[in-house]
């Protein structure tokens, strides 16, 4: 029952229900103070980013890690009142290794402290991209709090990741926000390695020609777009048609580097597997990559093998974990019995560190070494 309830959580991690609205409301825009700090820190952050690839010390970069916040300590994190009180709350806190009391006493940054500490004990993973999550835009280009289910502001993620040598900033900007283009400049200066979207809950149609200036700016700044593809079930509402990989034709044709999260899994669009549609798009566009996060989840059995066998995926897959979901009952090496040598699955299951276990499991399932290396090669160049 527990596992069934958790299916399809990826997206924004299904943090849904439990993130309590910040008393101060969402931090819609950065303060002048933050902007000042940004400009002065830009050069050093750029240097730090390029140095990081070397400083990974032969370890890998995880391109897809979630955090969360209760909105305490002025973090600006926001969750729709309708999503409060979910059964997921204790499950996720456990996966993050934090208690609600700690969050309330120490602030939302404590989650990133725990992620960093856990990561520092990994023998395989040197750093992780922590993903912000923007919300739905209203007609004036502001944050539509009534339609936003979950909001993790760029400023919070940028400030917290800066405190940890092994965490990197993954920004999120709804292109329909009035400040979208200037925010792109700002997050780039803050050291963002990519921009993350979940079109189905942020109400973004990637094929909308109104987004062209945003795509051009992404390309100009060299920021890849990591965008959810496939169906999403962790929120109250999701417009799944917006996560059809075929909708990525526009940014790809404009030369944006796009990373299709989860290789389109799961679900179908127009009667065809979204995974097949992602692979078709990879065959058409050399600038389309895909992350392998969530492909070991119990609701996605069999997909990873199909992806690895497809010639279109060669040289285009990058490592992502979707932490904290790898630390929940959604993932176990034993679910892959019959798809990999049992001795390898058993030894993977014995590994305590969640990233080391994830890498061992994916290696057991045939993920080649270049996939683990490619996240850093693509994002830290």
Residue range at the interface with Zn ion (CB under 5 A); choices 2-10, 144-152, 219-227, 349-357? 2-10
CB of 64 vs Zn ion, minimal distance in Å: 6
CB of 157 vs Zn ion, minimal distance in Å: 14
- Residues found in the chain: 381
Classify each residue of 39-70 as buried b or exposed e, where b means 16 or more C-beta atoms within 10 Å of its C-beta.
eebbeebeeebeebeeebeebbbbbbbbbbbb
CB of 367 vs Zn ion, minimal distance in Å: 18
Do β-strands 150-151 and 78-79 pair in parallel, antiparallel, or remain unpaired? antiparallel
Q: Which of residues 73-112 bind Zn ion (CB under 5 A)?
A: none
DSSP codes of every residue in 268-315: EETTEEHHHHHHHHHHH-TTEEEE-TTTTBGGGTTHHHHHHH-GGGTT
The residue (of 244 and 322) whose beta carbon lies closer to Zn ion is: 322
Q: What would the x/- binding string for Zn ion be over residues 223 to 252, using CB under 5 A?
A: ------------------------------
CB of 33 vs Zn ion, minimal distance in Å: 31
Residues 6+ positions from 348 with CB-CB distance below 8 Å: 333, 357, 360, 361, 364
The residue (of 38 and 294) whose beta carbon lies closer to Zn ion is: 294
The residue (of 174 and 321) whose beta carbon lies closer to Zn ion is: 321
Residues 6+ positions from 142 with CB-CB distance below 8 Å: 28, 177, 178
| SS3 label, residue 200 | helix
CB of 198 vs Zn ion, minimal distance in Å: 8
CB of 66 vs Zn ion, minimal distance in Å: 6
Is residue 91 within 8 A of residue 159, CB to CB? The reply is no
CB of 196 vs Zn ion, minimal distance in Å: 9
Is residue 176 within 8 A of residue 242, CB to CB? The reply is no
Query: How is residue 4 written in tokens?
Result: 């069934």
Distance between CA 90 and CA 70 in Å, rounded?
13
Residue range at the interface with Zn ion (CB under 5 A); choices 149-157, 199-207, 317-325, 338-346? 317-325
Distance between CA 61 and CA 57 in Å, rounded?
11
Residue range at the interface with Zn ion (CB under 5 A); choices 4-12, 237-245, 247-255, 365-373? 4-12
The residue (of 21 and 67) whose beta carbon lies closer to Zn ion is: 67
The residue (of 10 and 20) whose beta carbon lies closer to Zn ion is: 10
Query: How is residue 298 written in tokens?
Result: 């119990």
The residue (of 73 and 154) whose beta carbon lies closer to Zn ion is: 154
The residue (of 72 and 157) whose beta carbon lies closer to Zn ion is: 157
124 DSSP assignment: S
The residue (of 227 and 257) whose beta carbon lies closer to Zn ion is: 227
Is residue 16 within 8 A of residue 72, CB to CB? The reply is no
Residue identified by tokens 């819609």 is 28
The residue (of 10 and 281) whose beta carbon lies closer to Zn ion is: 10
Helix 354-364 and helix 342-349: axis angle, to 10°? 170
CB of 324 vs Zn ion, minimal distance in Å: 10
CB of 10 vs Zn ion, minimal distance in Å: 4
| 322 contributes a contact to Zn ion by CB under 5 A | yes
From first CA to last CA, the distance across the chain in angstroms is: 44
Residue range at the interface with Zn ion (CB under 5 A); choices 31-39, 163-171, 218-226, 321-329? 321-329
Q: Which of residues 284-303 bind Zn ion (CB under 5 A)?
A: none
Residue range at the interface with Zn ion (CB under 5 A); choices 51-59, 95-103, 158-166, 316-324? 316-324
The residue (of 173 and 201) whose beta carbon lies closer to Zn ion is: 201
Residue range at the interface with Zn ion (CB under 5 A); choices 9-17, 48-56, 168-176, 270-278? 9-17
- How many chain residues interact with Zn ion (CB under 5 A)? 2
CB of 323 vs Zn ion, minimal distance in Å: 9
Classify each residue of 250-269 as buried b or exposed e, where b means 16 or more C-beta atoms within 10 Å of its C-beta.
bbbebebbbbbbbbbbbbbb
Rule CB under 5 A: which residues touch Zn ion? 10, 322
């Amino acid at each position: 029952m527990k596992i069934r309830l958790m299916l399809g959580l990826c997206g924004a991690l299904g943090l849904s229900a439990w993130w309590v609205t910040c008393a101060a409301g969402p931090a819609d825009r950065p303060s002048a103070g933050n902007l000042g700090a940004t400009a002065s820190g830009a050069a050093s952050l750029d240097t730090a980013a390029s140095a990081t690839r070397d400083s990974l010390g032969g370890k890998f970069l995880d391109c897809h890690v979630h955090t969360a916040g209760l909105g305490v300590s002025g973090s600006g994190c926001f969750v729709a009142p309708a999503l409060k009180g979910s059964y997921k709350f204790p499950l996720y806190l456990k996966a993050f290794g934090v208690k609600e009391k700690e969050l309330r006493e120490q602030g939302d940054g404590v989650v990133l402290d725990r992620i960093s500490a856990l990561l520092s004990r990994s023998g395989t993973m040197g750093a992780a991209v922590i993903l912000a999550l923007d919300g739905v835009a209203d007609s004036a280009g502001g944050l539509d709090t009534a339609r936003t289910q979950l909001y993790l502001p760029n400023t919070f993620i940028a400030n917290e990741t800066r405190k940890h040598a092994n965490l990197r900033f993954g920004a999120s900007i709804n292109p329909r926000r009035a400040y979208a283009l200037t925010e792109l400049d700002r997050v780039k200066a803050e050291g963002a390695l990519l921009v993350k979207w979940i079109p189905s809950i942020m109400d973004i149609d990637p094929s909308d020609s109104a987004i062209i200036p945003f795509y051009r700016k992404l390309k100009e700044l060299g920021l890849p777009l990591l965008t959810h593809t496939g169906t999403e079930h962790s929120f109250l509402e999701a417009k799944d048609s917006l996560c059809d990989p075929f909708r990525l034709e526009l940014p790809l044709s404009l030369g944006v580097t796009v990373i299709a999260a989860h290789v389109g899994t799961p679900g179908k669009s127009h009667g065809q597997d979204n995974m097949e549609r992602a692979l078709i798009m990879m065959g058409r566009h050399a600038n389309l990559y895909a992350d392998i996060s969530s492909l070991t989840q119990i609701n996605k059995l069999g997909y990873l093998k199909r992806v690895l066998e497809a010639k279109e995926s060669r040289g285009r897959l990058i490592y992502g974990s979707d932490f904290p979901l790898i630390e929940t009952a959604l993932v176990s090496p034993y679910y892959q019995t019959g798809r990999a040598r049992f001795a390898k699955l058993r030894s993977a299951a014995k590994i305590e560190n969640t990233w080391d276990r994830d890498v061992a499991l994916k290696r057991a399932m045939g993920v080649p070494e270049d996939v683990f290396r490619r996240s850093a090669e693509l994002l830290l160049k």
